[in-house]
Amino acid sequence: MPRITVEVESTIGSSIGKHGGARSSRDEAPGWPVGEGYVEDTLDTGGRSVRTMVLMREPARPGDEVPAWPVAVLHLNDGRRDLDEVVCVAEAEPFIDLVDLPDLGRWHAEPAAWAAALGRLSPGPAYRMTGCGGRVEADRLVADAHHAYLQLTGCMELPTHGE
């Protein structure tokens, strides 16, 4: 499971409960914060940094970098184009056992809950979820986008003649 760093642009509270379940009453503690941002040194097929949402222990301020790992990818459409948003969890307790899409269900964090959080984080476009993929797909998306960044910037070592 590759570790990445998410540069957070905004944070909201969520309904993803602090004890593995969704909130059921006003008396319970609010859910864990969710941040939205991007992975530096990546380029998606549209030439933008890979967009991410990250479940965190504490809220982050814009510009904060959060160590995390991908667990899923949301396939979305904003009415104009298709886009992917990588779902991550912060590299911290109590999220250690969240490693793939099926694990999110134990936290009442189904893909629809993430799509709703994204709508609150990015109030401009209305996102429609068109599908969801697991950790392997999220890892591949980030790896491919990092590779595209390295190719574009010329930082990638190319084989020399004779190798």
- One of 2.120.10.10, 1.20.120.1200, 3.90.80.10, 1.10.760.10 is the CATH number of 4-153, namely 3.90.80.10
Q: How far apart are CA 4 and CA 77, in angstroms?
A: 25
DSSP 3-state assignment of 9? strand
pTM: 0.80
pLDDT for residue 24 is more than 60: no
Average the pLDDT over each of 19-23, 79-83, 100-104 and give the range with the smallest value. Answer: 19-23
pLDDT in tens, 85-124: 999 999 888 888 888 888 877 776 777 777 777 777 776 6
pLDDT for residue 150 is more than 70: yes
